[in-house]
Amino acid sequence: MAGFDKRVASYEEAMEGIESGMTVIAGGFGLCGIPENLIAEIKRRAVTDLTVVSNNCGVDGFGLGVLLEDRQIRKILASYVGENAMFEQQMLNDEIEVVLTPQGTLAEKMRAGGAGIPAFYTATGYGTPIGEGKEVREFNGRHYILEEAITGDFAIVKGWKADRYGNVMYRHTAQNFNPMAATAGKITVVEVEEIVEPGELEPSQIHTPGIYVDRIIQGSFEKRIEKRTVRS
Amino acid sequence: MALTREQMAQRVARELEDGFYVNLGIGIPTLVANYVPDGIDVMLQSENGLLGMGRFPTEEEVDADMINAGKQTVTARPGAAIFSSAESFAMIRGGHVDLTVLGAFEVDQEGNIASWMVPGKLIKGMGGAMDLVAGAENIICTMTHASKHGESKLLEKCTLPLTGAGCINRVLTDLAYLEIKDGAFILKERAPGVSVEEIVEKTSGRLIVPDHVPEMTFEAE
């Protein structure tokens, strides 16, 4: 890898260094904008005891759901874990630890983690089970709870276009958690639909600047739709 | 007669004001988008990162990269903006959304809401609901007034784990439109043909009944 060229030649190389017990932060909302090939590579490597941070856990047989098949996930932080029968079963059997986290708090935990902010106060969850055991402070007559930032050993991200320096753009609502995830990994791996030459992306349109990105790979994507809804 | 889901959506839609940014939850709240009054323009916020949600796509327009917070394929209307989840919740927590409409299992007279978990049954998660109720000043809760077994869902104190504390100020049920203020439900309107007595009987929290409780009216569709 020379200079700022972040490209890697294979998915094997893209996930080099991932080990059992590591924390992986994943972008995506439902099945939209998920790094599906990087997830497949984690499955192929058969690493276990992973802590996964992601808004959802995929569905049976797709997305992060495939990592449940061989019990590779020990703990997950997510805001919503419906739509997945295998997940429910492992949760009921205590085979997986689930830390349900409000969606905005989850996004901010990633953002703060990547931005060097160790913790932040939010009103979200005050007075609910989410706030139990957390530090409370009052600002201007309102109560807030202290939530801690998250960083990962790896961040896995799905982009639309990137240049080889690792500048990334996302497409439509496939953006979601990806920009925050990209900032919060010790090693951030981004898979995209197209890698272009530096200079082809308009600098002011870049969502994730290359400084956050360690590895870039171009892949092909199934992009499964969870709830196809059309108007008649 | 209790209100239909469509009538509930219609009634909530009367609370929309021109220029409102609105977040609609899953279920009855989603239907509110079908009843935006003529001459009023609202911008729908979907917490996965879309401000200006449009109609569902045609078969040709379906795009896997374009979904709403309910994971349904959608379109963006002209003038829409798309952004990250952190940006989306910055506008929610920061109080920039003018109106939030969401469903609930229980609401109590202190404005507490329970909507995300029934212990002993399956827990799916709160999604963005906790952030939405913590961030909005203007929230309408839509729910049935009582369970199938006739048990009130408008309580003195919520029994289920809370989504948010002291944050709900308006409730629309299939029987009534109520405000919550100073530790009580205030009956503002009743569904057509529903008596004040029935609402009193099905409300277990403290209920204030004014001398005159107007009946809602709906135009024939």
Please give the pLDDT value at position B122: 66
- What is the DSSP code string of chain A? --TT--B-SSHHHHTTT--TT-EEEE--BTTBT--HHHHHHHHHHT--SEEEE-S---BTTBGGGHHHHTT-EEEEEES---S-HHHHHHHHTTSSEEEE--HHHHHHHHHHHHHT--EEEESTTTTSGGGTTS-EEEETTEEEEEEE---EEEEEEE-SEEETT--EE--GGG-TTHHHHHHSEEEEEEEESEEE-TTSS-GGG-SB-GGG-SEEEE-------SB-----
Active site residue ranges of B:
47
Nearest to A22 by CA among A136, A192, A151, A178: A151
Nearest to A96 by CA among A129, A59, A50: A50
pLDDT-derived band at B102, boundaries 50, 70, 90: very high
By the 8 A CB rule, do B171 and B107 touch?
A: yes
In angstroms, the CA A15 to CA A24 distance is: 11
- Pick from B82, B86, B127: CB nearest A180: B86
Structure tokens at A121: 């106060």
Q: Is the ipTM of this complex over 0.85?
A: yes
Which residues of B are less than 8 Å from A110 in CB distance?
86
Nearest to B109 by CA among B156, B152, B76: B156
| Residues of chain B numbered 119-178 and touching chain A (CB < 8 Å) | 122-131, 134-135, 161-166
Listed in sequence order, the residues at least 6 apart from A3 whose beta carbon sits closer than 8 Å to its beta carbon are none
Please give the pLDDT value at position B220: 66
Cβ <8 Å between A226 and B67: yes
Domains in chain A with CATH codes: 11-218 (3.40.1080.10)
Contact status of B62 with chain A (Cβ, < 8 Å): yes
Cβ <8 Å between B123 and A100: yes
Give φ, ψ of A115 to 5 degrees. Answer: -100, 5
Residue B133, SS3 per DSSP = helix
Please give the pLDDT value at position B120: 78
Sheet with A194-196: strands ordered across = A168-169, A161-163, A194-196
Q: What is the four-CA torsion angle of A159, A163, A168, A174, rounded to 10 degrees?
A: -20
Which residues of A are less than 8 Å from B74 in CB distance?
229
Computed over every residue of chain B, the mean pLDDT equals 95
Q: What is the pLDDT of residues A6-57, one digit of tens each?
A: 999 999 999 999 999 999 999 999 999 999 999 999 999 999 999 999 999 9
By percentage, how much of chain B surpasses pLDDT 90? 92
In angstroms, the CA A10 to CA A122 distance is: 41
**A66 Cα to chain B: minimum distance (Å):** 19
Under 8 Å CB pairs connecting chains A and B tally to 171
Contact status of A93 with chain B (Cβ, < 8 Å): no
| Residues of chain B numbered 79-118 and touching chain A (CB < 8 Å) | 82-86, 88-89, 92-93, 112, 117
Computed over every residue of chain A, the mean pLDDT equals 96
Structure tokens at A92: 């009921």
Is the pLDDT at B221 greater than 60, yes or no?
A: no
Cβ <8 Å between A171 and B65: yes
Cβ <8 Å between A180 and B84: yes
Structure tokens at B120: 């002993």
Instruction: Please state the rounded mean pLDDT for residues A202-223.
Output: 98
In angstroms, the CA A220 to CA A46 distance is: 22
Domains in chain B with CATH codes: 5-208 (3.40.1080.10)
In angstroms, the CA B18 to CA B11 distance is: 16
**B67 Cα to chain A: minimum distance (Å):** 6
User: What pTM was computed for the model?
Assistant: 0.96
Q: What is the pLDDT of residues A90-112, one digit of tens each?
A: 988 889 999 999 999 999 999 99
Please give the pLDDT value at position B27: 87
Q: Give the residue from B130, B157, B167 with the most A CB atoms within 10 Å of its CB, the best one to mutate.
A: B130
By percentage, how much of chain B surpasses pLDDT 70? 99
Question: What is the b/e burial string over B171-206, where b = at least 16 CB atoms within 10 angstroms of the residue's CB?
Answer: bbbbbbbbebeeebbbbbbbbeebeeebbeebbbbb
Contact status of A147 with chain B (Cβ, < 8 Å): no
Is the pLDDT at A1 greater than 80, yes or no?
A: no
- Pick from B62, B93, B163: CB nearest A104: B93
By the 8 A CB rule, do A52 and A75 touch?
A: yes
Q: Between the CA of residue A200 and those of A164, A169, A203, A205, what are the distances in Å?
A: 11, 12, 9, 11
Nearest to A128 by CA among B108, B167, B164: B164
Instruction: Please state the rounded mean pLDDT for residues B175-202.
Output: 97
